[in-house]
Chains A and B, each alone.
Chain A
Amino acid sequence: MGNYITTVAVNIAVFSLLALSLNIIIGYAGQSMMGHAAFFGIGAYTAAILTNKGISFWLALLASLIVSGALGAILGIISLRLRDDFLAITTIGINFVMVALFQNMKFFGGSLGMAVKPLTMFGKKATPMHFLIMLLILIFLVCMLIRKMNSSWFGLALASLRGDEGAAQSFGVNTNQYKILAFIIGTSIAGLTGGVYAHRMTFIFSSSFAFIVSISIISMVVVGGVGTIRGPLVGAILLGAAPELLRFADDYRMILYGGVIVLMMRFQPQGLLGENSFLMNKFNQYINPLLKRKGGEFNA
């Protein structure tokens, strides 16, 4: 694979993980999280600071996961007190405040950003390919995790919480507990991704974790399809590859981006591949019967 393609693929893989993890919070648990990039950043800076101090990469990754997850738990606890709109705004606020901290505190390298000790693998400096493989394994694991979640009582608890908190409580769901758990799972995966990302980039800037990045992640989830596994993956691939494919039309990139989001929300808020979307309905109508006839069960 060419270096350029690997680079793009790594980028898409990073965003796939971010979109999958955000989807746990907004798609499955129904919580209005608008600041996912902050937790991505928390993970990135945690891992970077630790490996720069000489701690091993793997331990640093674990720390990224734990630190982001712990801060995510705090956000989860805060969210219990806030209604939906306020939660959206608060998470936007947290994103801005985190970026301001990254940018202004010496501890985080300040406005110049922060160099990260390059990762060595098998005695050599890790290549983009190494990172790609690592990320693909993570994506696979996260997808399995979500599948497992969806077939468990945990998944039903989140679905109930998303559907109607009052109803959920009436049949024994401690909605507060599950909200916090959803935040922890989503943010810790984002943190882990940040840890990998920091070492892939070997240099991190606060701007990589800005609110606009959160918006990109949200767009991937909603363009692909909320509350599914395929949705965030497809969203990340489409929106991650689009800027590259649209290089020729660089000037119109953000316009297209904005336009696509508005049109999606207007006409297909469930996403391209979400449940009951135009494409999925066609798929179920024409292609699924064919697959079924051959004995293959489609399950994505």
Chain B
Amino acid sequence: MLLQQILNGIMIGSVYALTAMGATLIYGILRILDIANAGAYVAGAYFGWFIYLKTGNLVLAFLFSMMITGLIGVLIHRFIYAPILSKPRILPIVPLVASVGLFTLTGDLARLIAGPGTKAYNVDFGVDVINIGKLTVVPAWILIIVLTALLFTVLWLVLNKTKLGLAWRATAEDADIAKAVGINTNSAMALSYILGYGFAAAAGIMVGILYNSITPALGEVPSYKMLSIIVLGGLGSPVGTVIAGLFIGMVETMLSAYNLTFIPKDSVAFIVLILVLLIKPSGLISKTNNI
């Protein structure tokens, strides 16, 4: 049924958008592709799982996991990316390679600390499914869609209505000019990491709940899918990221729902990306920094 698939697509797409948002915020400011964002997604899922296991409180799990992961992001920026970016670049891919290293590191740390196996993510919503007419809705879906909408609203408010958000937008527009007119670009960077890694953490928890499991390899698919989403979204554009995330989620869902997958669903994002770049080399939505 079409409506069912659309709902499904929105749900998957929201998770994608949320995962990719961090990479977008970071790209907007630092102009680097931070694959390690998918590491934050893994770390966040594990923190959330642990906190939920100990407290049984999902709100706490989300809040603390997002906070811890966000703070780790700030530290990673402070001690790894900032020094790398302050030196003359030998190769354009140096920061990208560093982020791949970080990503590898996170996945494996998760494996070492929590063990290689799958962890169950049993969150009890009271009911298993809700039937609305012919529509079947799993409570986790509602959680995901509502929470994503909430987080994006918060993001929108922060970027558009606060001083910090103004700093972010100005820095994304032109870091040198922003610095010259006295905008604190460092706080804009910190904001990118706190929000970016925090959002990735939330996405990690959501996916854990959705599939009722997490493994150390959780980040592998998002790590690259995220890249195609942020490019499709126009690199550095938060709105574009949401649109691209929903778009990819929808395309994937439709293709697999109607058995059109001659190619695995996880490469759809890249095929779309490559096609789009061939037609329009500046990305789907090329105007960057457009909130």
User: Do residues B235 and A93 form an inter-chain contact, with CB atoms below 8 A?
Assistant: no
User: Given contacts A81-B281, A89-B273, A226-B91, are A100 and B84 in contact (CB under 8 A)?
Assistant: no
Interface flags for B85-105 (1: CB within 8 Å of A; 0: not) read 001011111111110111111
Q: Please judge, given known A-B contacts A96-B267, A222-B97, A265-B95, whether A86 and B231 are in contact too, CB under 8 Å.
A: yes
**C-alpha gap A150/B101 in the complex (Å):** 30
Does any Cβ of B come within 8 Å of A164's Cβ? no
B154-172 interface mask toward A, CB cutoff 8 Å, 1 = contact, 0 = none?
0000000000000000000
Residues of B within 8 A of A (CB-CB), count: 45
Query: Quick one: which of A92, A103, A218, A222 has the most chain B CB within 10 A?
Result: A92
Q: Is the CB of B91 within 8 A of A89?
A: no
CB proximity of B255 to chain A, nearest CB, Å: 13
Q: Is the CB of B84 within 8 A of A265?
A: yes
Give the one of B87, B104, B224 with max A CB within 10 A.
B104
CB pair A89–B94 under 8 Å, yes or no, is no
Check B108 for interface membership: any CB of A closer than 8 A: yes
Contact across chains for A262 and B231 when beta carbons are under 8 A apart: no
State which residues 25-82 of A face B: CB under 8 Å. Answer: 26-27, 30, 32, 34, 78, 81-82
Q: In the assembly, what is the distance between CA of A265 and CA of B283, in Å?
A: 28
Q: Does A118 contact B (CB under 8 A)?
A: no
B127 within 8 A of A: no
Check: B278 CB closer than 8 A to any chain A CB.
yes
When the two chains form their complex, are residues A251 and B112 in contact, meaning their CB atoms are under 8 A apart?
A: yes
Interface SS of chain B = helix
Q: What's the minimum C-beta distance from B286 to chain A, rounded to whole angstroms?
A: 11
C-alpha gap A264/B27 in the complex (Å): 22
Q: With contacts A86-B283, A88-B33 known, is A262 near B101, CB below 8 A?
A: yes
Shortest B269–chain A CB gap in Å is 8
CB distance A211 to B224 under 8 Å? Answer: yes
**Is B270's CB within 8 Å of the partner chain A?**
yes
Do residues B102 and A262 form an inter-chain contact, with CB atoms below 8 A?
yes
* Residues 115-152 of chain B, each 1 if its beta carbon lies under 8 Å from chain A, else 0: 00000000000000000000000000000000000000
Q: At the interface, yes or no: A300 with Cβ under 8 Å from chain B?
A: no
Binds B, one of A2-10, A133-141, A253-261, A280-288: A253-261
A73 vs B139: C-alpha distance when bound (angstroms): 50
B263 touches A86 (CB 8 A): no
Interface string of B176-209 (1 = CB under 8 A from A): 0000000000000000000000000000000000
Contact A269 to B101, CB < 8 A, known contacts A89-B231, A100-B267, A262-B80: no
- Looking across the interface, which residue of chain B has its beta carbon closest to that of A275? B90
Q: Is A297 an interface residue (CB 8 A)?
A: no
Q: What is the minimal beta-carbon distance from B97 to any residue of chain A, in angstroms? A: 6
Interface SS, A side: helix
- What is the interface size of chain A, counting residues whose CB is below 8 A from a CB of the partner? 45
Q: Note all chain A residues with C-beta closer than 8 A to B84.
A: 265-266, 269
Residue of B80, B107, B227 most packed against chain A (CB within 10 A):
B227
Q: Check if A84 is an interface residue, CB within 8 A of chain B.
A: yes
- The 8 A CB mask of A196-213 against B (1 = contact, 0 = none) is 000000000000000100
How far is A78 from B96 in the complex, measured between Cα atoms in Å? 21
Contact B93 A218 (CB under 8 A): yes
Across the interface, do A261 and B100 meet the contact criterion of CB distance under 8 Å? yes
Most buried by B among A85, A97, A103: A85
- The chain A residue sitting closest to B216, CB to CB, is A254
**Is A270's CB under 8 angstroms from B270's CB?**
no
With beta carbons under 8 angstroms apart, the residue of B98, B104, B274 that contacts A265 is B98
* Residue B59, interface by CB 8 Å: no
Of A86, A94, A97, the residue contacting B281 (CB under 8 A) is A86
- Residue contact B227 to A89, C-beta cutoff 8 Å: yes
Q: A100-B264, A265-B98, A266-B98 are in contact. Are A257 and B104 (CB under 8 A)?
A: yes
- Closest approach, in angstroms, between the C-beta of B149 and any C-beta of chain A? 28
In the complex with contacts A97-B271, A255-B108, A34-B93 CB distance below 8 A: yes
Beyond the given A94-B274, A104-B263, please list 4 additional residue pairs across the A-B interface where CB-CB is below 8 A. A82-B277, A104-B264, A257-B104, A270-B90
Interchain Cβ contacts under 8 Å between A and B, 26 examples: A27-B91, A32-B91, A32-B92, A81-B281, A82-B277, A85-B92, A89-B227, A92-B270, A93-B228, A96-B224, A96-B270, A97-B270, A100-B266, A222-B94, A226-B90, A254-B104, A255-B104, A255-B105, A255-B108, A255-B112, A258-B101, A258-B102, A262-B80, A266-B84, A269-B90, A269-B94
